[in-house]
Structure 1
Amino acid sequence: MAKIFLYPLSWLYGFVIFLRNRAYDLKIVKSKEFDVPVISIGNITVGGTGKTPHVEYLVNLLKDTYEVATLSRGYKRKTKGFRWVEKQSTALEVGDEPLQIKNKFPDVTVSVCEDRVKGVEKLLEPAEGKTPDVVLLDDAFQHRRITPGINILLIDYNRQIKNDTLLPAGRLREGVYQMRRANIILFTKCPEEVTPIMRRILQNDVNLLPYQKLYFTRLVYGTLQPIFNAPELDEASYRTVSCHMLVVTGIASPKQMHSFIKKMGTQMETLTFSDHHAYTTNDIVEIEKRFQAINSEKKIIVTTEKDAMRFKDIEEISDALKAAMYYLPVKVDFLEEEKKSFNKKILNYVGENKSNRELHKRKNSGKS
């Protein structure tokens, strides 16, 4: 019922967003193009659609052939301006997601800047380390000040947008009409199989245009990894009803992770915080209290890889708690034979534009 009172605000918000997008469409407000290949990954809704695992997929796809750089705004960091992300950085300095990417791919350039144009310009300065062959813009679908060569839009398979409304009454950041800006639409967090009928329904729901490609991805969880000094675990040791897990999450949508852990056959309790939650001393006290209350000889704390980045910043975690803390890594995979098609599209774009860029540089060098 309270939602009814939010609709006028949604209409006002929608009108402002319409004017902003119209200004870009009519080129009243300019959008900058760079001569380096730029790929944007984002969504049209608030809440988790799995952006970071998809950015990591692209990094892994490209890193062996090209110099890859990622640029994020560094959501909820306590710093401003452009920053290079290092393995020894903290989540408070650079944000949890960029730090996660850097820890997973230490040889890849990872950076944060709230101004995406300035961020890319900084990445392209020759004096500042490696010059990238391709820049991946994280969470940038709404950031129209840059025109990407490929715009990838993520939609949660389990929270489809056809009947949704704009903020604050709904979850939409902008109207569904703006999906037209995407070159690739990915339905994420899919079950292991999506029937042909369901695929057609979803294709119709997003009103797929001739220049757009539609793909389906799912989350694939790995084996538990220690955050601090906990002992290594083999799967047999925790995939048993005798193991009791306290699952602590500060992400937008922990439901799929909870479902995966339930299938392990373990006992599970959950403690859920808001997305990108900044854990406090009181939170640690609550976690320790809940953990100590579990009456089991075999018990551990499980969290997400993103949460693990934030827990590393907290000095108040006791050694006993550290010895019980693990994170559950996750990656994405494509359904059926779609991976080959998606990979080819990305690799062709980067390869062709890198070649054109080098040819352009040689021509200009010859003229000078």
Structure 2
Amino acid sequence: MNLLRKILFPIAVIYGLVTAIRNFLFDKGVFKSTAFPIPVIAVGNLSVGGTGKTPQIEYLIRLLQNDYRVATLSRGYKRESKGYILANENATAKVIGDEPFQYYKKFCKIQVAVDASRKNGIEELLSQPLKPEVILLDDAYQHRKVKAGFYVLLTAYGDLYADDCMLPTGNLREYKSGAKRANSIVVTKCPATLSTQSKEEIRAKLRLTKKQQLFFTTISYDDTAYSAHGSLEVSEIIKKDKLLLAGIAKPESFFAYLQAANDLTMVYPDHHHFTDNDIIEIKNKSKNNIIVTTEKDFVRLKGSVLEEQLYYLPIKSKFLEGADLFDKTILNYVGSSTRNG
């Protein structure tokens, strides 16, 4: 913890107290939470950034899209628009945000909407002639004006919420006790060889309730990188001189997967909107070698002068064990909620 964060500890105490009072008022019904008559699954975290929400949302889309009409609802972080928007052929990353735009381009069967007010967004989705049967709320764990039917809480291996403290001293958005609202807790970005002993140590740290399930996932990288005009096998990419580019939280594992000795790297802030000057700088630094970036960054750079050099590497969330149990739990919730609705 750096000196500035230590100095800001009194602010962290005040911030924690405010969030605790807010949660208490929601828990006691003083502040109203709205429930809806369809399955609503909220995916989020207690900390800011870097826990792998996007691959987890995509995992749920793949699980549900063939049997249900699925919609995702996000706030559309850093978008250049306001209010409720349902993605259509005019959508761009600037209009709806990079992650929603990624969902829209990748999954043709689903509806993708953005709204800072999740309650209003759900009401708008349900007012359509073709209503969704399941709604996935992206990054909505603290959005308590909506009462989801199922909560998936993510925490990153090596950066567990149990080891963290409140903003701005730490990275927590609310106290660790907020984890009790979760139905399933997923430890993300684990080593693929995580030992049973390590899993049990993490379980002890997280102090689950009797009703909560714990799962461990790792990031699975694709064997192929894709561009607007073709693809390259990762085995070929590693041999090439290249520029690795990332505007995401915690890009270290992405770089480690692809980087060779002579490769250059460029790092931008999470959800960074690339300016013309940025693109010129990237172009110059690449020296016309290929540029490999993340899928989220690709949707923001596609169509630029970098397009002929630009490739992206897809990732997925992969369960180390218990995928069948997680899938069954989600499908049982959705199936029973749909019948009840």
TM-score range (shorter-chain normalised) is over 0.9
Judge conservation of contact 1:39–1:150 (CA < 8 Å) in 2.
yes
The answer on 1:246 being equivalent to 2:231 is no
Aligned to 1:234: 233
Judge conservation of contact 1:224–1:326 (CA < 8 Å) in 2.
no
Per-residue CA deviation, residues 56-100 of structure 1 (Å, 9 max, x unaligned), is 100110011111111001000011111011354111100000010
Please report the RMSD computed on the Cα atoms of aligned residues, expressed in angstroms: 1.5
Q: What is the TM-score of this pair, normalised by structure 1?
A: 0.89
Spell out the pairing of 1:187-266 with structure 2 (5 A cutoff): 187-229=187-229, 231-240=230-239, 243-262=240-259, 265=260
Residue 165 of structure 1 deviates from its aligned partner by: 1.3
Judge conservation of contact 1:185–1:214 (CA < 8 Å) in 2.
yes
Aligned to 2:158: 158
C-alpha separation in 1, matches of 2:199 and 2:113: 36
Judge conservation of contact 2:247–2:270 (CA < 8 Å) in 1.
yes
Residue 132 of structure 1 deviates from its aligned partner by: 1.2
Residue 223 of structure 1 deviates from its aligned partner by: 3.6
The amino acid that maps onto 2:95 is E
Per-residue CA deviation, residues 103-126 of structure 1 (Å, 9 max, x unaligned), is 11012111001100011111111x
C-alpha separation in 2, matches of 1:247 and 1:209: 42
| Aligned partner (choices 9, 33, 36) of residue 35 of structure 2 | 33
Aligned to 2:55: 53
Q: What is the TM-score of this pair, normalised by structure 2?
A: 0.96
The answer on 1:300 being equivalent to 2:290 is yes
The range that moved more, 158-167 or 322-331, is 158-167
Residue 8 of structure 1 deviates from its aligned partner by: 1.0
C-alpha separation in 2, matches of 1:19 and 1:119: 26
C-alpha separation in 2, matches of 1:237 and 1:260: 13
Residue 153 of structure 1 deviates from its aligned partner by: 0.2
C-alpha separation in 2, matches of 1:346 and 1:285: 45
The amino acid that maps onto 1:277 is H
Does the residue aligned with 2:214 lie in a helix, a strand or coil?
Answer: strand
C-alpha separation in 2, matches of 1:202 and 1:148: 26
- Structure 2 CA distance for partners of 1:266 and 1:223, relative to 1, 3 Å: farther
Aligned to 2:329: 345
| Aligned partner (choices 258, 270, 275) of residue 275 of structure 1 | 270
Does the residue aligned with 1:74 lie in a helix, a strand or coil?
Answer: coil
Residue 129 of structure 1 deviates from its aligned partner by: 4.4
C-alpha separation in 2, matches of 1:122 and 1:108: 15
Aligned to 1:328: 313
The range that moved more, 72-81 or 129-138, is 129-138
Residue 2 of structure 1 deviates from its aligned partner by: 2.1
C-alpha separation in 1, matches of 2:76 and 2:241: 34
Judge conservation of contact 1:238–1:266 (CA < 8 Å) in 2.
no
The amino acid that maps onto 2:105 is N
C-alpha separation in 2, matches of 1:173 and 1:51: 15
- Structure 2 CA distance for partners of 1:226 and 1:266, relative to 1, 3 Å: farther
- Structure 2 CA distance for partners of 1:311 and 1:129, relative to 1, 3 Å: farther
Greater C-alpha radius of gyration:
1
Judge conservation of contact 2:301–2:307 (CA < 8 Å) in 1.
no
Gaps of 5+ in 1: 358-368
Per-residue CA deviation, residues 171-222 of structure 1 (Å, 9 max, x unaligned), is 0111101100111000001111221211111111111110100001111111
C-alpha separation in 1, matches of 2:75 and 2:246: 22
Per-residue CA deviation, residues 266-320 of structure 1 (Å, 9 max, x unaligned), is 642110000000111111111011111x8xxxx31011000111113x6xx32xx
Judge conservation of contact 2:237–2:258 (CA < 8 Å) in 1.
no
The amino acid that maps onto 1:237 is E
Residue 236 of structure 1 deviates from its aligned partner by: 4.2
Aligned to 1:7: 9
Residue 21 of structure 1 deviates from its aligned partner by: 0.6
Does the residue aligned with 1:65 lie in a helix, a strand or coil?
Answer: coil
Does the residue aligned with 1:239 lie in a helix, a strand or coil?
Answer: helix
Aligned to 1:71: 73
- Structure 2 CA distance for partners of 1:87 and 1:97, relative to 1, 3 Å: farther
The range that moved more, 97-106 or 87-96, is 87-96
Judge conservation of contact 2:38–2:338 (CA < 8 Å) in 1.
yes
Aligned to 1:365: none
- Structure 2 CA distance for partners of 1:101 and 1:178, relative to 1, 3 Å: same
C-alpha separation in 2, matches of 1:80 and 1:247: 32
Residue 161 of structure 1 deviates from its aligned partner by: 2.5
